[in-house]
Amino acid sequence: MALDEKKLQELIGKMLGDVGAAMGAALVLLGDKFGLYKTLASAGPLSAADLASRTGTVERYVREWAAAEAAAGYINYDPASARYSISPEQALLLADENGPAFFPGIYQIAAAAVRDEPKVAEAFRNGGGVGWHEHDPCLFRGTERFFRPGYATHLVAEWIPALEGVKEKLERGANVADVGCGHGASVILMAQAFPKSQFTGFDYHEPSIVRARELAREAGVADRAKFERASAKDYPGSYDLVAFFDCLHDMGDPIGAAAHVKQTLKPGGTWMVVEPFANDRVEDNFNPIGRLFYAASTTICVPGSLAQEVGLGLGAQAGEARLREVLKAGGFSQIRRATATPFNLVLEARP
């Protein structure tokens, strides 16, 4: 078969860009770890020597790092002054941890995926899984840092108001469970917004529960935001609202989890299911977000599910139709799409 030279060169160019981005992931982690982006945002423009001095790092390394980041378009370089700077847009993504779109967290997730490749490779061979707790620890912190800005932007302002009658219940005082809570970012946000309600975050990963309690104390909501170790099929209590944030697809038995949610809902209660956005057809997800989510699903989500009982392996790109099937199989008959963002699909379910 004859090669199409134009297509070949286009693919080579794409791969070179991708390899450069992959190699650059470590540089983003370094820039985040040493505060290089934040220093440029607060004190730039700066020479490499000044940037190193202000961050307590070595100039020769910072000089190379800064050149690489400027080549990537993550920071800017002025040849006339030999100084580096960061634009408001670059700073928003790389230096503002409390902003709506902070990206270093996803680079931590990517780093975990690379570090855990041998474990995933073994699962490819034997069909087993890799449990969430078996991953590199930077996955847990990265997940919190990447998802928290989106939750901070959308959860209280958009997602909860999109649920029928839920915002009013929370304002009056309700009992809420957040299952698969990780480091508790979503629990803390809700507790801050609705001081008359009580929130309990559940996760089977004990280190995440410990970290969530620390963050709740720091946020001043430890009296309203509790955290307990439990799985999605055995957490206790009775709730007006049960929330699953980006975790249903990770579960080995999501149908069993759905059935347990039904048992723990009070009459008139609501289940909010937040999942990664996906279209139902595979080919409709061939875009940058779909690429990212399929990659994460291959290395994190599907291995996590297959490591558990049943091991349904929904994956992060299950799509709304498949999610509805799971919810219905778990006993929910009233299901609607409450809202969506480019990154998330929010479903409201009632028995």
pLDDT in tens, 241-283: 999 999 999 999 999 999 999 999 999 999 999 999 999 999 9
Three-class SS string for 61-115?
A: HHHHHHHHHHHHCCCEEECCCCEEECCHHHHHHHCCCCCCCCCHHHHHHHHHHHH
H or E element that contains 254: helix 254-264
| Domain annotation for the chain: domains and CATH numbers | 5-93 (1.10.10.10), 104-350 (3.40.50.150)
pLDDT at position 98 = 86
Q: How would residue 311 be classed by pLDDT, with cut points 50, 70 and 90?
A: confident
Q: Please state, as a whole number, how many other Cβ atoms lie within 10 Å of the Cβ of residue 200.
A: 21
pLDDT digits (tens, 9 = 90+) for 331-347: 999 999 999 999 999 99
Q: Is the confidence at residue 151, as pLDDT, over 90? A: yes
CA distance 274 to 126: 31
Give CA–CA dist 214/335, Å, rounded. 35
Whether the Cβ atoms of residue 67 and residue 31 lie closer than 8 Å to each other: no
Q: Model's pTM, two decimal places?
A: 0.92
Q: pLDDT for 84-112, tens place per residue?
A: 999 999 999 999 998 888 999 999 999 99
Q: pLDDT value at position 1?
A: 78
